[in-house]
Amino acid sequence: MTKRAIILISGRGSNLLAIIKAVKEGYLKDLEIIKVISDNPEAPGIEKAKAEGYDATYVSPGAKKARFDEEGLKRYVGIIRESGANYIFLAGFMRILDEKIINSVDAVLNIHPSLLPSFKGLNAQKQAIEYGVKVSGCTVHFVDAGVDTGPIIIQRTVPVYADDTEESLAERILAEEHKAYPYAIKKLIEDKLEIHGRIVKIKE
Ligand code: GRF
């Protein structure tokens, strides 16, 4: 059965495009992306989604920097509930979700550019370089009320080289993000994810 998703973005939108590509190529044939919403009016991802034929708009989250204000929250929850979405996928969405948003769908997923629980929050690739880790990667996880704390679905690793910059590491991780996110979404929409506390089992 087709599942309906809203994708939330704040910027470039490359993960969004990877998900769109997976839908169009049939890898995610049972997913309908019903809306793309950005909390940033200048996010390049808005035009990219429109160019792919999707309904993509800026919706104001309110004046707060990292969260939603009351009006903004009402706007988001209203749109999500009205759309009948089953899922929300965060694709570079730079705002902490309120529980009211999380509770308005069956599940919310996020992708983070580090091997959680290391390097939560902003500038994860810079944190990894500065810490001196030799391996990093990306994590797709369920979103709970915390920041980058929900149960982990999949992680993909990359080496960190001595001469890496934040940019070169980010690029290497991004290539893995574009594989990890469609895979995690596929398992979710096929009902193949079983959550036991923090542990997510993937039924093959
Ligand atoms: C990605 O690195 C993602 O892991 C992080 O924000 C970045 C978004 O990039 N949450 P894009 O907008 O998907 O290109």
Pair 7, 50 in one domain: yes
Q: Do residues 101 and 129 both lie within one domain?
A: no
Per-residue burial over 114-147, b = 16 or more CB atoms within 10 Å of its CB, e = otherwise: bbbebbeeeebbebbbeeebeebbbbbbbbbeee
148: in domain:
no
Decide whether any atom of ligand 1 lies within 6 Å of the 182 Cβ: no
- Whether 177 lines ligand 1, by a CB cut-off of 6 Å, is yes
Among 112, 141, 178, 196, the one annotated catalytic? 112
Residue 6 resides in a domain: yes
Mean confidence (pLDDT) of the chain = 97
Q: Are residues 85 and 163 in the same domain?
A: no
Residues 33 and 57 in one domain: yes
Tokens coding 63? 């004046």
Cα 6 to middle of ligand 1, angstroms:
16
- Residue 171 in this model has a pLDDT that exceeds 90: yes
CATH at 190: 3.40.50.170
- Mean pLDDT over 158-181 rounds to 98
Residues 94 and 158 in one domain: no
On the 0-12 / 13-18 / 19+ scale of CB atoms within 10 A, 18 is: buried
- Indicate the top mutation candidate among 111, 116, 152, 172 to test ligand 1's pocket, ranked by most ligand atoms within 8 A of CB: 111
| pLDDT tens, position by position, 40-93 | 999 999 999 999 999 999 999 999 989 999 999 999 999 999 999 999 999 999
CB of 28 closer than 6 angstroms to any ligand 1 atom:
no
Total structural domains in the chain?
2
Domain that holds residue 19: 1-105
Q: Are residues 79 and 130 in the same domain?
A: no
Give the model confidence (pLDDT) of 118-153 as tens digits: 999 999 999 999 999 999 999 999 999 899 999 999
Name the residue at shortest CA distance from atom 1 of ligand 1. Answer: 92
Query: Please, what sign has the CA dihedral across residues 5, 185, 141, 44?
Result: negative
Q: Are residues 118 and 94 in the same domain?
A: no
Best residue among 8, 10, 14 to mutate for probing ligand 1's pocket (most ligand atoms within 8 Å of CB) is 14
| Residue 136, pLDDT score | 98
Distance between first and last Cα of the chain: 18
* Per-residue pLDDT, 16: 98
181 to 42, 49, 63, 98, 185: CA distances (angstroms):
24, 17, 30, 22, 6
User: Which ligand 1 atom sits nearest the alpha carbon of residue 93?
Assistant: 10
Answer yes or no: do 87 and 116 share one domain.
Answer: no
pLDDT value for 1: 85
Q: What percent of the chain clears pLDDT 90, i.e. is strictly above it?
A: 97
